Structure 1
Amino acid sequence: MRRLYGHDAVDIEVATDTQRSRVADVLLTHPITQRRVAFEVQYAQLSVAEWRDRHESYVQQGIIDVWLWGHTRIRRARSEYALEPYRLDDVQDELRKAGMRVTFINPESSQLAIAVNRFGRTYSLASEREVDLVAFELESIRLSDQGVRSDAIDPFVTAAREREAALRERELEAQEHAEARAAIEAARAKKASARDLERARAAREQFASMPARVDARSGVVRPSVTMPARVLCRQCGKPLDATLAEFGVHLGPCRWEQERLL
């Protein structure tokens, strides 16, 4: 960093605030833009809550925090069926979820390794907890709006952006499809409701237009929707066939039965 940006641009173990509540392992101040980047080399265990506290503190100070996890913090995936060979721990995965790059450092070999995922033939910045690692030389990094960049990192960044755009497009298409389907279902429900209302209206009209039936024993009885209106025989009180309705009586057995009873 001093070779790239000058000796005065790099400070080691320096406090980033007047209260000295935060001490960056390495603090880089860009000589032109004055943008500050704090490098945290983390070998010791760190909880998610502790990382959030330190990250939010840097954000409030307007400092980009770049976390370099010690190479001894690399963990193999737990399952032999894992899609990638390595697995991020809780705090590393929290950093990934925050949209930051998960990077490991090996000071012995002067190398960095960035967590990636493979999608088809393309590698992208890690979007899952199980990851692969791609190593590159420490001296290849440069300062960027995201902290650091490198010719080795740039293709993964581009692939990640393209994948995110494709995912957003698919989500938008799925949302539009769901909305269109909901509109179709609503139209069907509205049509079915209108059909039911029309049937109910027709039933009411049919009910209202039914003639009263005459029962010799109980007088006039209004028709019901469950029993169509029918003319009853004046002799036996049983329903008459439509062809006999105008006569009011059966022509056969009921008259004979009535005469027998008399």
Structure 2
Amino acid sequence: MQDDLLVVGFDLETRREVHVSEREPEHWKRLGYGGAGQLVCFYCFHGFEAPAGTRVPLVTRGRLGGKVRRHFAHPPGQAPTGGHGPETVWHITTKHLLAAWARSRPGVDRVRLEQWTEDHDRRADVEVLLQDGTKVALEAQRKLMTDDGWRARHRDYARQGVVDVWFWRPRVHFPHVVLDEGLPVWFYSVSKREAATSLGRPHARVHRWWQVPDLAVFGLHHPPCALDELERVTIPLGALGLGPGGAVLPEDLQKRVLDSQRETREEAKRRKDSEARYARAARESQERAARAPAPVPLPPLPPVPAGGLRCEVCRRPLDPLLARTRRHILC
């Protein structure tokens, strides 16, 4: 099932958007097409590809565990020509699924849609207030942004102490400045209810790599660096955590990353210890040399006789190098 075939419902009685996963299919059937008619298409009612106020009661399709996931749909022949824009469907659906996910996370105090920041510079798709006071902005980004456009929004959030977490529509190119700023990149598939992100593969171990301040980059790391080779991972949205730093990898992935980095740090420690032992041995050798007594000077060589040096045993000519011994080595 493609993301652009999904439909968000709108309950005319409660005046709120609803999703098929919130209640049992029988409940929606009573409210939708062939029932009370109060469950209508959110997009049609709000003027997307149809006149504002258009009421199209929805049908519920699919079944739990079936090949097609449960979803709302227009009755046959009642969808707008060409359907609803896939970007619009993805954005609105993702925004509400992210809000529902945030409400289900421990440590969350409040979740609100379409909220302005305190200085009214930015409006978050989903504003989350954690119990520790941290504010998190969840952004569902459906289109490519320029580096400057994204950086301006990110820094406005940072200036106001808001942690921004960006979820991009699948197959949309994202500004690589996101990685330069040290943020992870998340993609979200509505139809699969899955988030995807990338781990940075270990950097090449260059000369004296163990002296680099941040050893984490020589193991798997998240977020990746801008020019890293990447390993893509997909995660059910319900498995993601939410904390003061933003979205949190599940424990099994965290363990894999930390194990990789621990091995790197252990290898770096072995290199540093070996380097320290060598430096200590060299220093001790120099200290011993400094403490050693000065060598006793050798007596001067005897004067060379007029006829040249001769061995005092065999009387044959003697090399000057043997002048001190006065004999050949074998004599």
With normalisation by structure 1, the TM-score equals 0.55
Q: 171, 176, 180: which one pairs with 1:94?
A: 180
Give the match for residue 5 of structure 1. 103
CA distance in 2, matches of 1:168, 1:45: 37
Q: Which has the higher strand share?
A: 1
2:322 counterpart residue number: none
Within 5 Å, which residues of 2 pair with 1:96-111? 98=182, 100-107=183-190, 109-111=192-194
How far 1:141 sits from its partner (Å)? Answer: 4.0
More helix by share: 1
Distance 2:278 2:149 in 1: 46
SS of corresponding position for 2:303: coil
How big is each residue's C-alpha offset from its partner over 1:46-68, in whole Å with a ceiling of 9 and x where there is no partner?
32x66555445434433222122
Deviations 1:14-61 (A, max 9, x none): 33231x33333321123x4443111133332332x6655544543443
SS in 2 for 1:133: strand
Partner of 1:146: 245
Quote the offset at 1:125 in angstroms: 4.6
Measure the CA separation in 2 of the matches of 1:3 and 1:124.
Answer: 25
Please name the residue that 1:61 is paired with. 160
SS of corresponding position for 1:73: coil
| TM superposition shift of 1:230 | 0.9
Secondary structure, aligned partner of 1:72: coil
Change (3 A) 1:33 1:90: closer
| Contact residue 169 and residue 187 of structure 2 kept, 8 A | yes
Q: Is the 8 A contact 1:125 1:156 kept in 2?
A: no
For residue 199 of structure 2, the aligned residue among 99, 116, 123 is 116
SS at match of 1:177: helix
Match of 1:169 in 2: 266
Distance 1:17 1:194, change over 3 A: same
- Residue 116 of structure 1 and its aligned partner are, at CA, apart by 3.4
Higher mean alpha-carbon deviation, 135-144 vs 173-182, is at 135-144
CA distance in 2, matches of 1:160, 1:68: 21
Is residue 230 from structure 1 mapped to residue 331 from structure 2 by the alignment?
no
- Displacement after TM superposition at 1:72 (Å): 1.8
After TM superposition, give the deviation of residue 92 of structure 1 in Å: 4.7
* Residues 1:134 and 2:207 are matched in the alignment: no
Separation (CA, whole Å) in 2 of partners of 1:127 and 1:105: 18
Once structures 1 and 2 are overlaid, which stretch shifts more, 21-30 or 173-182? Answer: 21-30
Distance 2:153 2:180 in 1: 13
CA distance in 2 between partners of 1:140 and 1:71 (Å): 19
Q: Which residue of 1 aligns with 2:116?
A: 15
Q: Which residue of 2 aligns with 1:44?
A: 144
Q: Matched residues in 1 for 2:251 and 2:222: separation?
A: 10
Greater RCO structure (CA 8 Å; 6+ sep): 2
Number of residues of Structure 1 aligned to a counterpart in Structure 2: 190
Identity, % of aligned positions: 21
Counterpart residue identity of residue 103, structure 2: Y
3-state DSSP of counterpart to 2:171: helix
Rounded to whole Å, the distance in 2 between the matches of 1:188 and 1:127 is: 45
Shift of 1:240: 5.8
TM-score calculated relative to the size of structure 2: 0.45
Deviation at 1:173, TM superposition (A): 2.1
